[in-house]
Structure 1
């Protein structure tokens, strides 16, 4: 018995009254990298159905048969179904600001669990290109306070919602250094550091920040190395794409001298024009793109083409913005 395959099959089968055919199930398994024949899949389904241990139901009124999980079955597992996980992610994006805070907090917790259930991969129909009209209502006062803190480089105190052990808690931070506001898939995010000694940078949706108060002390500015630690609550647990990053830099640059690194160094190849080609094993993230873009006046991305074209597109947009 292939327990991993059987577990994946059960995860893909919806609860009643929905159902799924063998061919649809075979296609979904293929999308997950599990290639099985129709006959093998039918044998697996029949074996699990005959065992009466998984709440599996077979609708023989139509052909091909429809498969589902009995709506009354609870079994030994309390894992969220994939269908419910997708619904929670959509619900989080559509939450109106007027809802009571305890309800919004409950949905945010479920959305965190849903994202983990989907291994950090949001459905394609939730992508920005498909749903640019989806916006989350924000507290304009919180946004203006953060903008003020960034503009005048002032530290602030704030309450931040963090998910601990599957529960959301509002934690009070006596000193927060906000340094950027960015938008990702229609969600406004704040980038910040906490305390006076903690080196890591964080990123959270604005709706998880409240009670921002400006302090009469300067904020901290993250170094290039500290920026590489930037972590996003939305992407937490998401499997990141590993790439071979090749950049061309001057011999005496901070990158070639080792003060700034974009990943694990694989090779260095000196060139005739007093430059060096450096190959890194890196993670393709927005933070990496931002770091490369900031150094684009002396650093060239050679490969991969996807990142090179991404940098070119941003530089082209900048030229158009300044009408050069």
Structure 2
């Protein structure tokens, strides 16, 4: 006897049961065949009942219906079977069954269902056999992580950051070829931290040259203006620094992103592992206007200026004053 509901709210299974037409048939079957309380010794298809559709219209999805009872998961698909638009039998069979009497229709569907079920189960097995397997469905170990990490050049044994291994595997396709774009970085951070991240590129930096870096007329080196020499004592650079803006944040999340705090250190690890070692990163925290509180000077207070407390009148807007160097010379 199968439990009526074994999945969690807001999970992938929950979304599949709510909107089955949004999923591919093979994808849905692979998700539902791994039920926590299922017996490993029995054939996986024993938990399913596969039916083919009688609909002769062009299929807009691969799944027509998905229902769950106490013993089986009932699938009506639109891509494989004996009847329907993609069925093996001629269309006239589907048309006759569809327009027959109710009793005859039910009896015919149940009879064909015996063959439809076996045919569909073999189709699923063949699809998993002759396509690149998902390793977690075959092995208990996480050997598949190395395959996914190879897409973005991440080597788990060199990094020794087991807490980040799953992140770099999940986003390996997005990070493939070290594609360090603002979109890829923002997408990854939004999913990991469940917050609104914005990436501001081309932050201007000004560097003043030391005397040893200046050109002198001593005849020991060739200096050509516009090639290896320029006029001035400082350099402006716009491709070596970015600013990451997070928020609006609640007060709890805001405090966790302050320097040396849990979320700040986690973000620092991710950026230092993925991004260029020479990249400088400023982190700007945006505190919700509802969470701006007055400062109480006592021994238990952990707030400071620009770290939860601000010298300012009460404004009807989010506060974005907190900004510090996460990666770079001033961290």
TM-score range normalised by the length of the shorter chain: under 0.3
Q: State the TM-score, normalizing by the size of structure 2.
A: 0.26
Tell which structure's C-alpha radius of gyration is larger.
2
Normalized per residue, which structure has more strand? 1
